[in-house]
Structure 1
Amino acid sequence: MFQKKLYPHQQKALTEALACMNTLIAQGVEVDTQAVDTIRAMLGIKGTMPDHMNKAIESCTTNERRVA
């Protein structure tokens, strides 16, 4: 949708925000689904999450386990 108009730093920031939102969702925190859908649309993501986002979520939960 807006993907071609985004600068690389904007795309990176949105990707990180989406990864954080998905991490919060995985931890059971209630997140506004409309915000998630908007960011996904801005990045041009349809359907499934890219592998790098899944890896980011996995590394976050792994780091939490090490700290705890």
Structure 2
Amino acid sequence: MHGYDSGKKANGRKRHLLADTLGIVCKVYVSAANIGDRDGAAVLLRRSTHPVSSKAVSYTSSRSG
């Protein structure tokens, strides 16, 4: 699974992580680089068996342009 992220000018994969408040990684989803951060996070949260609060915070790279 490979893709091209035109924003970062990079080939490869993206890693989407779900961590608890202590920073312990609970779930990992790896996607092609051309999958957006928002789309990857949505897949990760749908596949997660861990309860996620409605006050959860999402940190993603910013979109330029």
Q: Of the two structures, which has the highest relative contact order with CA contacts closer than 8 Å and spacing of 6 or more? A: 1
TM-score by length of 2: 0.29
Between Structure 1 and Structure 2, which shows a larger proportion of strand residues? 2
